[in-house]
Structure 1
Amino acid sequence: MVKQYTREIIREKFIEMLNERPLNKITVKDIAIACEINRNTFYYYYTDVYALLSEIFQRELQTVIDEYNDTVSWEESFIVAAKFALENRAAVYHVYNSMQREELVNYIYNVSGNVMMRYVEKVSDGISASSEDRKLIASFYQCALTEMVLRWIASGMKGDPDIIIRRIGYLFDGNIELSLKRSAGLNDV
């Protein structure tokens, strides 16, 4: 119980700091002081600040995965992921503009991939599309969504992601199913 509480405090204080200053200006010592723990306690849980950052992104990814179910659209799942970015806008910029940008890119890519693969699998139920084509379709949308989110971050997070994602969903509605049916048609030839 104490271990879980300590980890949570470390994550919370780190995110607070990341909302205030760039990643390269946050040290283990800063985090330890803010958490009122010693540095050895920090190192008991994390090897360094980057391991902490990685864990935060992994937890956020797990949140999206846990909230996704058969009744939730891919758009809803993606909006859940965008919620963290909006609540921690400055922190996201600090990571985006740091040497650890790859952590953020991987997080977005993994969220997009997980959401799209699950959605494609759901839509393909009853359609005899090949496994390779299902993966290809999911990968295409994964890459497109990842790049759109990165562009949104780079442009200052202008525009409501809820509106943007829902509009994308509306504009492309039916395209995944149509692609899956085309794949099934190729299998029949």
Structure 2
Amino acid sequence: MVQQYTKEMIREVFIKKLNEHPLNKITVKDIVRECGINRNTFYYYYTDIYALLSEIFQTELQTVIDEYNDTLSWEESFLVATKFALENRTAIYHIYNSMQREELENYIYNVSGTVMIRYVEKVSKGISATQEDKKLIASFYQGALTEMLLRWVASGMKEDPNIVIRRIGQLFDGNIALSLERSVNLKD
């Protein structure tokens, strides 16, 4: 219990610092000073700041996975994934503009993939589409959503993702099911 509290405190202080300073200006010394712990305690949990950052993204990905269920549309699931970014805009912007941009890109790509794979599986119930086509359809939407979200971050996260994501959902409504149905009729 104490370990979980300490890790959570380290995480919260790090996110707070990221919302105040660029990633390359944050040190372990800054984090441990604000947490009131020693450096050894930090290193007991994390090898460095980048391991901490990676764990934060893994935790956020797990949140999306845990909250996803068959009653959610892909749009609702994706909005769950943008919650952390909206609550920590400056931190996300600092990560995006750092040498650790790849960590953010991987997080977005993994979230998009998780959401779209599950959604395509849900829509494909009762449709005899091939597994290869299901993967291809999910991969296509994963790439498109990843790129859109990265462009949103790059532009300063000014647009409301709720409006954009819902609009995309309306514009492409039924396309996944239609693509799956086409898969049934396609011959190799």
TM-score (norm 2): 0.99
Q: Does 1:63 align with 2:74?
A: no
- Say how many residue pairs are matched: 188
Matches within 5 A, 1:98-137: 98-137=98-137
Q: What one-letter code is carried by the residue in structure 1 that aligns with 2:177?
A: E
In structure 2, the partner of 1:44 is 44
Q: CA deviation at 1:145?
A: 0.1
Q: Does 1:76 align with 2:85?
A: no
Q: Distance in 2 between matches of 1:96 and 1:116?
A: 23
For structure 2, which runs of at least 5 residues remain unmatched after alignment?
A: none
Q: Distance in 2 between matches of 1:150 and 1:142?
A: 12
Q: Distance in 2 between matches of 1:15 and 1:109?
A: 21
Q: Distance in 1 between matches of 2:89 and 2:49?
A: 19
In structure 1, the partner of 2:169 is 169
Q: CA deviation at 1:159?
A: 1.1
Q: Distance in 2 between matches of 1:157 and 1:27?
A: 26
Q: Distance in 1 between matches of 2:18 and 2:29?
A: 14
Q: CA deviation at 1:156?
A: 1.1
In structure 1, the partner of 2:16 is 16
Q: What one-letter code is carried by the residue in structure 2 that aligns with 1:145?
A: L
Matches within 5 A, 1:152-163: 152-163=152-163
1:127 match: secondary structure: coil
Q: Distance in 2 between matches of 1:70 and 1:184?
A: 23
1:146 match: secondary structure: helix
Q: CA deviation at 1:7?
A: 0.2
Q: What one-letter code is carried by the residue in structure 1 that aligns with 2:162?
A: D
Q: Distance in 1 between matches of 2:136 and 2:158?
A: 30
Same amino acid, percent of matched pairs: 79
Q: What one-letter code is carried by the residue in structure 1 that aligns with 2:54?
A: S
Q: Residues 128-184 of structure 1: CA distance to partner in whole angstroms, max 9, x if unpaired?
A: 000000000000000000000000111111210001000000000000000000001
Q: Distance in 2 between matches of 1:45 and 1:97?
A: 26
Q: Distance in 2 between matches of 1:2 and 1:149?
A: 36
2:173 match: secondary structure: coil
Displaced runs of 4+ in structure 1, greater than 4 A? none
Q: What one-letter code is carried by the residue in structure 2 that aligns with 1:45?
A: Y
TM-score (norm 1): 0.98
Q: CA RMSD for the aligned pairs?
A: 0.8
Q: CA deviation at 1:37?
A: 0.2
Q: Distance in 2 between matches of 1:115 and 1:162?
A: 16
In structure 1, the partner of 2:143 is 143
2:126 match: secondary structure: coil
Q: Distance in 1 between matches of 2:73 and 2:178?
A: 17
1:60 match: secondary structure: helix
1:98 match: secondary structure: coil
